[in-house]
C-alpha cells in the first residue's frame, strides 16, 4: 500500500513573526489604520489615516461655512466610528488569516508605528488650525458670520430685539485699526461719558434693563465687543489682553471721549474694564466691575466644564448652562424665566451664526496690580455667583486693595443686572456721583 508523501514544510525564517490579533486590535484602537500597517497593509493603513485627516479638515471647514454644525458634527462622529470599527475588525481578521506565515517588513517596527501616529496626529491638529485661521480671517461680505444666510438670520433677530431698547438712541459704526465697532449711544449729548462693556456672547442690548436710569445722567456708549457677537466687525485676530485695551483706547479717541471716562463692564466686559484700568488709568474717571470674569479669583472648574459642554451645538446645552448660571432669574417669576429663555436663544443663535473663534482667556489681577489701581473702582457681585466664590472675592479685595469698594448684592448671581436691576442702577449712580440727581 502506497503512502502519500507529507507536504513539505516551509523552513522557518528569522524574519518570520506571528501576527497577534490582540496587538492588531490594540494598535487600531490607538490610531485608525495602525493595525493594518502592523499586518503589512501599509497602503490601506495610510489611506484610512488620510480619510480621517480629510474628515477632520472638512468638519472644521464646514464649521466656518455652515450654521448646521450639529449635522456636520453628527456626520463626522458617524464616519469616525465606522472607520474605527472597520480598522479594528479588519485588522483582527487579517492577523488571524496571516497567522505565523507573515514575513516582517521594514516598517514593522515600534519606532515606525510611533512616528506615523505622531505625524498624523500632528497633521490632524495643524491642518485644521491652518484652515480655521484662513476661514476666520476671510474678510468676505458676510464676515464675521458663517454665511450670508447666517448673517441675515442673526441681524434680523438682533434688529428686532433692538426695537425694545427703552430709550431714544443713535448708533455709530466706528472705524479702528482692529475693524469696525458698533456703538449704541443714549443720554444727553453734554452729559459725562459712560462706556458699557457686555459679557461674552452678549451685545450692547444686554444693558436694556439698566439704560433708562443710567442715560438720565450720562452719555452712555453701549458697545458690541468687536471680537464677539453683534454688529461689530473685526479685521484682526485678538490674541492678548493688550489687543483689547489698544482697541478700546483707539475707540475712545475716535468717539472723542477725552480723559474723564466712566467705564463699566459685566462678566467678560468687567475683565476688559479692569485690564484697561491697569493700562490706561489716566483716561478714566471711575470704573465699575460687575461680577468680572476671573479678575479677582480664577473661574471654578465646574464653570469651566459646564461652559465647555456648551460647545456642543444644541440648544439644550446652552439652556442648561444658563439656567445653572442665572438661577436667581429662574426662580424669580415667570417673567424672569421668559427673559432667560431669550438670553438662551440669543446665545445659541450667536453660536450658530458666527465663525467660531477663541476668546482671550480672562486672567486674575495680581496683588500688585490691584494695589496699583488708583482709579476709583466699585466691585459688585451677586451673593449667589457661580463663576467663583463671591464672598472670597470680596474678602480678597478688602485684604489686598482696600481702596476698592467691594460689595455683595443679595438675591442675585451672574444675573445681577437683570434680577436686581434697580439695586444695581442705584448703587452705580451713587458711586459715579449722581446720587444728588436720582429720580
Question: How would residue 8 be classed by pLDDT, with cut points 50, 70 and 90?
Answer: very low
Q: What is the pTM of this model?
A: 0.84
Catalytic pick from 96, 142, 143, 414?
A: 414
Task: Place 87 in a pLDDT band, splitting at 50, 70 and 90.
Answer: very high
Q: For 88-130, write each residue's pLDDT tens digit.
A: 999 999 998 887 888 889 899 899 999 998 999 888 888 888 8
Calculated CA dihedral for residues 421, 422, 425, 428, nearest 10 degrees: -100
Angle at 234 between CA 280 and CA 152, to 5 degrees: 135
pLDDT at position 7 is: 46
Percent of the chain with pLDDT over 70: 95
Q: Tell me what the mean pLDDT of segment 303-313 comes to.
A: 88
Q: CA 49, CA 33: separation in Å to the nearest integer?
A: 6
Closest listed residue to residue 385, CA positions, set 361, 420, 358: 420
Give the count of alpha carbons within 13 A of 183, CB side only.
22
Helices 241-254, 268-279: crossing angle, 10 deg rounding: 80
Sign of the four-CA dihedral 235, 239, 240, 241: positive
Fold of the domain built from segment(s) 148-437: Rossmann fold (3.40.50)
Place of cell 485588522: 91
pLDDT for the residue numbered 434? 54
Tally Cβ neighbours within 10 Å of residue 418. Answer: 21
- The whole-number average pLDDT for the span 339-344 is 91
64 confidence band (pLDDT: 50, 70, 90): confident
Distance CA(332)–CA(304), nearest Å, equals 25
Output the CA angle 176-182-185, nearest 5 degrees.
115
State whether residue 186 is helix, strand or coil: strand
CA distance 370 to 287: 13
Question: Is 316 noted as a catalytic residue in this protein?
Answer: no
CA neighbor of 380 nearest in space, from 278, 287, 298: 287
pLDDT at 25 over 50: yes
User: Does an H or E element contain 89, and which?
Assistant: helix 69-98
Read off the pLDDT band of 60 (50, 70, 90).
Answer: confident
Out of 16-25, 112-121, 258-267, least confident range = 16-25
* Mean pLDDT of the 257-286 span: 97
User: For residue 10, is pLDDT > 80?
Assistant: no
175-216 pLDDT, tens digit each: 999 999 999 999 999 999 999 999 999 999 999 999 999 999
Does residue 351 carry a pLDDT above 60? yes
Cell 474694564: give the residue.
273
Average pLDDT over all residues of the chain:
91
Q: Give me the residue label for grid cell 443713535.
A: 170
Number of C-alpha atoms within 13 angstroms, CB side, residue 230? 28
- pLDDT above 80 for 16: no
pLDDT surpassing 90 at residue 250: yes
More confident residue, 146 or 135: 146
Q: For position 326, what pLDDT does the model report?
A: 95
Q: What is the pLDDT of residue 18?
A: 82
In the 8-state DSSP scheme, what is residue 8?
A: P
Count CB neighbours of 174 within 10 A: 18
The confidence score (pLDDT) of residue 401 equals 97
> What pLDDT shows up at residue 157?
96
Residues of the chain with CATH 3.40.50.1820: 148-437
DSSP 402: T
**DSSP-assigned letter for residue 387:** S
Amino acid at each position: 500500500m502506497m503512502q502519500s508523501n507529507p507536504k513539505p514544510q516551509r523552513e522557518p525564517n528569522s524574519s518570520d513573526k506571528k501576527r497577534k490579533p490582540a496587538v492588531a486590535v490594540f494598535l487600531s484602537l490607538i490610531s485608525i489604520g495602525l493595525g493594518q500597517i502592523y499586518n503589512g497593509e501599509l497602503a490601506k493603513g495610510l489611506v484610512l489615516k488620510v480619510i480621517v485627516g480629510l474628515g477632520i479638515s472638512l468638519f472644521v471647514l464646514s464649521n466656518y461655512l455652515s450654521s448646521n454644525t450639529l449635522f456636520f458634527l453628527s456626520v463626522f462622529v458617524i464616519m469616525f466610528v465606522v472607520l474605527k470599527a472597520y480598522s479594528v475588525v479588519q485588522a483582527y481578521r487579517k492577523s488571524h488569516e496571516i497567522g505565523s506565515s507573515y514575513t516582517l517588513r521594514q516598517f514593522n517596527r515600534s519606532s515606525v508605528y510611533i512616528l506615523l501616529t505622531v505625524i498624523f496626529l500632528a497633521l490632524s491638529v495643524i491642518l485644521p488650525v491652518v484652515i480655521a485661521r484662513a476661514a476666520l480671517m476671510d474678510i468676505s461680505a458676510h464676515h464675521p458670520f458663517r454665511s450670508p444666510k447666517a448673517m441675515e438670520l442673526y441681524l434680523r433677530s438682533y434688529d428686532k430685539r433692538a426695537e425694545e431698547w427703552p430709550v431714544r438712541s443713535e448708533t455709530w459704526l466706528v472705524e479702528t485699526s482692529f475693524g469696525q465697532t458698533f456703538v449704541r449711544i443714549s443720554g444727553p449729548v453734554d452729559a459725562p461719558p459712560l462706556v458699557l462693556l457686555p459679557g461674552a456672547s452678549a451685545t450692547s442690548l444686554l444693558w436694556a434693563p439698566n439704560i433708562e436710569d443710567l442715560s438720565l445722567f450720562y452719555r452712555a456708549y453701549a458697545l458690541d465687543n468687536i471680537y464677539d457677537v453683534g454688529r461689530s466687525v473685526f479685521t484682526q485676530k485678538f490674541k492678548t489682553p493688550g489687543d483689547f485695551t489698544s482697541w478700546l483706547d483707539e475707540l475712545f479717541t475716535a468717539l472723542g471721549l477725552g480723559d474723564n471716562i466712566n467705564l463699566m463692564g459685566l462678566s467678560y466686559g468687567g475683565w476688559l474694564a479692569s485690564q484697561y484700568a491697569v493700562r490706561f488709568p489716566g483716561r478714566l474717571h471711575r470704573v465699575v466691575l460687575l461680577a468680572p470674569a476671573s479678575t479677582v479669583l480664577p473661574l471654578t472648574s465646574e464653570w469651566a466644564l459646564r461652559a465647555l459642554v456648551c460647545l456642543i451645538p444644541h440648544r439644550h446645552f446652552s439652556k442648561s448652562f444658563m439656567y445653572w448660571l442665572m438661577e436667581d432669574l429662574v426662580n424669580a417669576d415667570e417673567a424672569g424665566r421668559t427673559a432667560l429663555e431669550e438670553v438662551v436663544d440669543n446665545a445659541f443663535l450667536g453660536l450658530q451664526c458666527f465663525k467660531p473663534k477663541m476668546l482671550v482667556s480672562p486672567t486674575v489681577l495680581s496683588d500688585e496690580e490691584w494695589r496699583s489701581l488708583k482709579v476709583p473702582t466699585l466691585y459688585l457681585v451677586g451673593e449667589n455667583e457661580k463663576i467663583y466664590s463671591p464672598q472670597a472675592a470680596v474678602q480678597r479685595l478688602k485684604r489686598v486693595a482696600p481702596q476698592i469698594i467691594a460689595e455683595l448684592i443679595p438675591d442675585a448671581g451672574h444675573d445681577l443686572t437683570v434680577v436686581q436691576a434697580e439695586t444695581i442702577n442705584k448703587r452705580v449712580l451713587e458711586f459715579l456721583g449722581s446720587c444728588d440727581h436720582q429720580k
